[in-house]
């Protein structure tokens, strides 16, 4: 976490300043109880580090994806849960018809799951999240993509801790482009592959 703080403070100080103070253990435990499954320690550590962003800038630390506050993560999770609970079995099957795990058996082939905990958002209905109910070949706590446009599910890392380690290694090694945007803000993207959306880059980076 310290390495990511240091990189952001040096290269994107406006984003570093946008990060909120850490969440309380009580707030984390309340969300955990609502979900009904234990959170991995790395997810708790993420929110103890910073309780997401204030969102006064238009980019986020996860190659541009916004770091959801705990309150916003709960809202997004609840919205997906509402879809699950208000849809018939037939409707859910239709929604999941095109869903697949890129690596077979790693992620359940579903449109939505109450056990996918979002922590990053693209403002287009798509997330990075922690998977508490993986496929038969997956790992509890693995980091996945999911959302409205994310039929192909990738495992980005076996754990959130491993994903954050990967992210910092990429940033420190120079696989990064910081662009000046028309609104006066700056965006954060991968250099390789050259993509304006991290979930598009992920399809290349984590395909194998």
pLDDT tens digits, one per residue of 171-193? 999 999 999 988 888 999 999 99
For the chain, the domain total comes to 1
Task: Indicate which CATH number applies to the domain containing 12.
Answer: 3.40.1580.10
Which residues 6+ apart lie within 8 Å of 183 measured at CB? Answer: 58
Residue 184's pLDDT is what?
80
Mean pLDDT on 155-160: 98
Residue 94's pLDDT is what?
96
CA–CA separation, 5 vs 34, rounded Å?
A: 30
With residue 121 as reference, give the H or E element that holds it.
strand 116-121
Residue 176's pLDDT is what?
97
Average pLDDT of the chain is 96
Which residues 6+ apart lie within 8 Å of 8 measured at CB? Answer: 15, 16, 19, 61
The pLDDT > 70 percentage for the chain reads 100
* Backbone conformation region of residue 142, classed left if phi is above 0, alpha if psi is from -120 to 50, else beta: beta
pLDDT band with cut points at 50, 70 and 90 for residue 120: very high
Write the pLDDT tens digit of every residue in 2-53: 999 999 999 999 999 999 999 999 999 999 999 999 999 999 999 999 999 9
Residue 1's pLDDT is what?
81
Which residues 6+ apart lie within 8 Å of 19 measured at CB? Answer: 8, 50, 52, 53, 54, 61, 67
pTM: predicted TM-score of the whole model, two decimal places: 0.96
The phi and psi torsions of 114 (rounded to 5 degrees) equal -70, -15
Write the pLDDT tens digit of every residue in 66-98: 999 999 999 999 999 999 999 999 999 999 999
- Pairing relationship of beta strands 100-101 and 126-131 according to DSSP bridges: unpaired
Q: Is the pLDDT of residue 100 over 90?
A: yes
Domain coverage including residue 84: 2-205
pLDDT band with cut points at 50, 70 and 90 for residue 207: confident
Residue ranges of the alpha helices (H) in 87-205?
89-95, 160-173, 198-205
With residue 130 as reference, give the H or E element that holds it.
strand 126-131
Residue 182's pLDDT is what?
83
CA–CA separation, 153 vs 75, rounded Å?
A: 22
Write the pLDDT tens digit of every residue in 134-148: 999 999 999 999 999
């Amino acid at each position: 976490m310290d390495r990511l703080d240091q990189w952001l403070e040096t290269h994107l100080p406006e984003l570093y300043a946008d990060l909120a103070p850490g969440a309380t253990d009580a707030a984390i435990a309340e969300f955990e109880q609502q979900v009904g499954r234990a959170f991995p320690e790395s997810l708790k550590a993420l929110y103890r580090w910073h309780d997401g962003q204030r969102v006064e800038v238009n980019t986020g630390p996860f190659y541009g994806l916004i770091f959801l506050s705990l309150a916003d993560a709960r809202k997004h999770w609840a919205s997906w849960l509402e879809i699950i609970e208000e849809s018939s079995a037939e409707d859910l099957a239709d929604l999941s018809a095109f869903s697949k795990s890129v690596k077979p058996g790693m992620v359940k082939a579903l449109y939505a799951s109450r056990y996918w905990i979002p922590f990053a958002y693209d403002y287009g209905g798509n997330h990075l999240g922690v998977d508490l109910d993986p496929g038969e070949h997956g790992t509890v706590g693995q980091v996945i993509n999911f959302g409205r446009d994310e039929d192909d599910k990738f495992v980005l890392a076996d754990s959130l801790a491993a994903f954050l380690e990967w992210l910092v290694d990429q940033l420190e090694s120079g696989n990064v482009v910081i662009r000046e945007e028309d609104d006066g803000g700056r965006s954060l993207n991968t250099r390789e592959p050259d993509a304006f959306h991290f979930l598009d880059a992920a399809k290349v980076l984590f395909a194998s």
